[in-house]
Amino acid sequence: MRTRTRTRARARLSALAVVAALGASLLAGCADDGDSKDSSPGSGSSGGSGGGGAKTTLTVGVFGAFGLKEAGLYDAYMKLHPDIEIKQTSIERNENYYPQLLTHLGSGSGLADIQAVEINNIAEVTATQAGHLEDLGKVKGVDKDAFLPWKWGQATTKDGRTVGLGTDIGPQGICYRKDLFAAAGLPTDREAVGKLWAGNWQKYLAAGDRYKAKAPKGTAFVDSASGVLNAITGSGATRYYDADGKVVYKSNPAVKEAWSTAASFATHGLTAKLQQFQPSWDQGFANGSFATVSCPAWMLGYIQDKAGAAGKGKWDVAAAPKPSNWGGSFLVVPSAGKHRAQAAELAAWLTAPAQQATFFEKRGSFPSAKAAYALPAVANARHDYFGGAPIGQIFAKAAEGTPVQVLGPKDLIIAQNLADVGMLQVDQKGRSPEAGWNAAVKAIDNALDQ
């Protein structure tokens, strides 16, 4: 009897302890939130030394290591505008960042003066949140003609309001290992490699077959079938939605063709059966377990990071079979912000061609302003790690060749389920392409259904 009452008491105590711990973490969470929220008006008033020298603090909310800050653009702007102070808050992953952005837009609070939006979300933001966002198309310093037309169009509503200004884009090339290509008897010069598959993804597959015939032991031609799928769908004008905004991925022949081509990489045994952005993928770079990967401009730094010093001089980059885009971002200015005019001005400056060129030079994020391509920072850009490849020219060509792609609000979910559910089953579990397709469709139907 005694033991029981004691353990009860102890149970209650530990329950209390749990409650206390939860409470503490809650409070800590609130405190954090409060801090970040307060930072704009609070530091604005404290920094403002009363009189005319009051500083305006602009906040920028981004996801991941977005790079604007790291490229020194904020510092440069603050030097030009001594009355402005820029603060950045970052949330590591877009999947955590984006839902929060939506709830904040809905409630009109907790927003930064400028918010970043990923390309996969921009159609949804443009379609559903335009009422909460400023029209940046007419802001002073914004030059519509400087941007790639497809990039400009992606953040413009049907009634002509442009709610987002493009920062970077993700034109793709094919990054390949020269040493593995040489060992398999394929050309290693980037011009010749580009010609191997120029104009047709089927030729890329054929090159894979050739590679496999004499492949160095333990290596595969590509990292993953999902990566190939991503690259191919990035090169089509329509993919998941038609121009009227209807979901058409099931019937779109372009998607079907992309599916079967990508699945062939798996069924031909050309993939290393990896999943992108998983630790095992990183290890694949480090260990050289695959010879090619379709790489948007922003991925070069990632490859350099993961393949490390051992990979220097081995990697190179060639043109992709077809111009294609993967990724990129926009800046939007929420209407709930206190300093909308200054924020819009900052967003315009950050996305102006000269700054985009700097952004590319420092961070490798490729400009969405085609006016930047002629600037020396882009036109003359070469990448040491990739054998001095003229990446500025390669990616500019891809960017200009990319078709105006029809985007839809649920692009991300459709793409994710096709790649991470359907194609992954084909690639890693050895399911048939049909079975993988059906699994993806089932998951997408469940996700899109209200």
Partner 1 sequence: MRSASDTGAAEPGGGGGPAVVAAAPAGAGAPGGDRVAAADPVGPAEARRRERRSRRYRRDVRWSPYALVAPFFLFFAAFGLFPLLYTGWASLHQVELTAPNEMHWVGLRNFSRLLSDEFFWNALRNTFTIGVISTVPQLMIALGIAHLLNYKLRGSMFFRVAVLTPYATSVAAATLVFVLLFGRDYGMVNWALGQLGWGPVDWQNGTWTSQFAVSTIVVWRWTGYNALIYLAAMQAIPPDLYESAALDGASRWQQFRHVTVPSLRPTILFTCVVSTIGATQLFGEPLLFNGGAGATGGSDHQFQTLGLYLYEQGWVNLHLGRASAIAWTMFLILLLIGAANWLISRALRKETT
Is 276 near partner 1 (CB under 8 A)? yes
Q: Which stretch binds partner 1 (CB under 8 A): 57-65, 92-100, 136-144, 370-378?
A: 92-100
Is the separation of the CB atoms in 366 and 171 below 8 Å? yes
Q: Residue 128 Cβ, how far from partner 1 at the closest point, in Å?
A: 4
Is 106 near partner 1 (CB under 8 A)? yes
Q: Which stretch binds partner 1 (CB under 8 A): 22-30, 50-58, 109-117, 368-376?
A: 22-30
Is 199 near partner 1 (CB under 8 A)? no
Member of 17, 21, 23, 269 binding partner 1 (CB under 8 A)? 23
Is 429 near partner 1 (CB under 8 A)? yes
Is 358 near partner 1 (CB under 8 A)? no
Q: Residue 13 Cβ, how far from partner 1 at the closest point, in Å?
A: 10
Reduce the secondary structure of the chain to three states and give it as a string: CHHHHHHHHHHHHHHHHHHHHHHHHHHHHHHHHHHHHHHHHHHHHHHCCCCCCCCEEEEEEEECCCCCCCCCHHHHHHHHCCCEEEEEEEECCHHHHHHHHHHHHHHCCCCCCEEEEEHHHHHHHHHHCHHHECCCCCCCCCCHHHECHHHHHHCECCCCCECEEEEEEEEEEEEEEHHHHHHCCCCCCHHHHHHHCCCCHHHHHHHHHHHHHCCCCCCEEECCHHHHHHHHHCCCCCCCECCCCCECCCCCHHHHHHHHHHHHHHHCCCECCCCCCCHHHHHHHHHCCEEEEEEECCHHHHHHHHHCHHHCCCEEEEECCCCCEEEEEEEECECCCCCHHHHHHHHHHHCCHHHHHHHHHHHCCEECEHHHCCCHHHHCCCECCCCCECHHHHHHHHHHHCCCCCCCCCHHHHHHHHHHHHHHHHHHHCCCHHHHHHHHHHHHHHHHCC
CA distance 263 to 432: 9
Judged by beta carbon, residue 292 or residue 351, the one nearer partner 1 is: 292
Member of 11, 206, 237, 374 binding partner 1 (CB under 8 A)? 11
Is 235 near partner 1 (CB under 8 A)? no
Is 217 near partner 1 (CB under 8 A)? no
Judged by beta carbon, residue 40 or residue 271, the one nearer partner 1 is: 271
Q: How many CB atoms lie within 10 A of CB 170?
A: 24
Judged by beta carbon, residue 20 or residue 182, the one nearer partner 1 is: 20
Judged by beta carbon, residue 316 or residue 411, the one nearer partner 1 is: 411
Q: Which stretch binds partner 1 (CB under 8 A): 38-46, 68-76, 97-105, 137-145?
A: 97-105
Is 420 near partner 1 (CB under 8 A)? yes
Judged by beta carbon, residue 64 or residue 137, the one nearer partner 1 is: 64
Judged by beta carbon, residue 223 or residue 316, the one nearer partner 1 is: 223
Is 21 near partner 1 (CB under 8 A)? no
Binding mask 110-149 for partner 1 (x = CB under 8 A): --------------x---xx--------------------
Q: Residue 57 Cβ, how far from partner 1 at the closest point, in Å?
A: 28
CA distance 116 to 140: 20
> How many chain residues interact with partner 1 (CB under 8 A)?
51
Judged by beta carbon, residue 261 or residue 417, the one nearer partner 1 is: 417
Q: Could you give phi then psi for residue 91, rounded to 5 degrees?
A: -115, 130
Is 278 near partner 1 (CB under 8 A)? yes
Is 95 near partner 1 (CB under 8 A)? yes
CA distance 423 to 439: 9
Binding mask 45-84 for partner 1 (x = CB under 8 A): ----------------------------------------
Which residues in 390-409 contact partner 1 (CB under 8 A)? 409
Cα-based distances in Å from 69 to 285, 350, 368: 28, 11, 18
Sign of the CA dihedral with 347 first, then 350, 356, and 359 last: negative
Q: Residue 103 Cβ, how far from partner 1 at the closest point, in Å?
A: 6
Member of 6, 138, 246, 256 binding partner 1 (CB under 8 A)? 6
Binding site for partner 1 (CB under 8 A): 1-4, 6-8, 10-11, 14, 23, 26-27, 93, 95-96, 99, 102-103, 106-107, 124, 128-129, 275-280, 283-284, 287, 289, 409, 413, 416-417, 420-422, 424-425, 428-429, 439, 443, 446-448, 450
